[in-house]
Amino acid sequence: MVIPVRNVLFTVENTDPKCFWLTSYLETILVQVWYPLTVATNSLAFKKIIFQSLQETSDDLSTLPFLMHDFGFRGVSSIESASIGGTAHLVCFKGTDTMAALGLAKEFYNCDMAGFSIPATEHSTITVWQEAGEADAYRNLLEQFPTGSVACVSDSYNIWNACEKI
């Protein structure tokens, strides 16, 4: 369910003067929902944009759940953060390399498999070919996986060259 903007997410009110300290304690814990809400909101925004583009350019909308892949595990502060943010992403998409999210999603959403991975490069699998062999690295990836989706790191040397010329 999407909650419209300008709605209060939650309020904390304490009516017991003996527990004055409890309000701040609970509020501190409750505001931690900002992270999964932000990830889920951004994923939904991306999904809407991708869906619109698919409608304009494709007859096959079935790929939508896999068109925004989560590689966020490396960019967060902890395994717990990866689990929480990755699960929030899985609310909108099914593509993930954030394996920590799969257990949390299974536990809370009672699903057999919440997300799936795809063949993907990382910087070392491109740079081992050296800059002069970057095109060969991409070619090799596509030869190894001629069908289906792949994810390819393109910024090991020059992102603009990789995207525009290779």
Question: SS3 string of 87-144?
Answer: HHHHCCCCEECCCHHHHHHHHHHCCCCCCECCCECCHHHHHCCCHHHHHHHHHHHHHH
Tell me the per-residue pLDDT of 121-139, one tens digit each, with 9 for 90 and over. Answer: 999 999 999 999 999 999 9
Give the span between the Cα atoms of 71 and 86, in whole angstroms. Answer: 9
Q: 73 and 140 in one domain?
A: no
Does the pLDDT value for residue 1 go beyond 80? no
| Average of per-residue pLDDT values in the chain | 94
Q: 11 and 88 in one domain?
A: yes
Tell me the per-residue pLDDT of 73-117, one tens digit each, with 9 for 90 and over. Answer: 999 999 999 999 999 999 999 999 999 999 999 999 898 899 999
pLDDT on residue 141: 97
Does the pLDDT value for residue 164 go beyond 80? yes
**Cβ(97)–Cβ(82) below 8 Å:** no
pLDDT band at 8 (very low <50, low <70, confident <90, very high): confident
Find the CATH number of the domain harbouring 38: 3.20.20.70
**Cβ(120)–Cβ(150) below 8 Å:** yes
pLDDT on residue 10: 87
The number of distinct structural domains making up the chain is: 2
Read off the pTM. Answer: 0.82
Q: Mark which of 99, 117, 135 sits at the end of a domain.
A: 117
Q: 26 and 93 in one domain?
A: yes
Q: Mark which of 95, 117, 139 sits at the end of a domain.
A: 117
pLDDT band at 59 (very low <50, low <70, confident <90, very high): very high
CB count, 10 Å around CB of 19? 11
Q: 138 and 107 in one domain?
A: no
Give the span between the Cα atoms of 46 and 100, in whole angstroms. Answer: 22
Closest listed residue to residue 87, CA positions, set 74, 68, 78, 100: 100
Residue 131 sits in which domain range?
Answer: 118-166
Tell me the per-residue pLDDT of 20-38, one tens digit each, with 9 for 90 and over. Answer: 999 999 999 999 999 999 9
Q: 59 and 126 in one domain?
A: no
Residue 58 has, within 13 A of its CA and on its CB side, a CA count of 10
- Token pair of 8, please? 């209060």
Q: 110 and 129 in one domain?
A: no
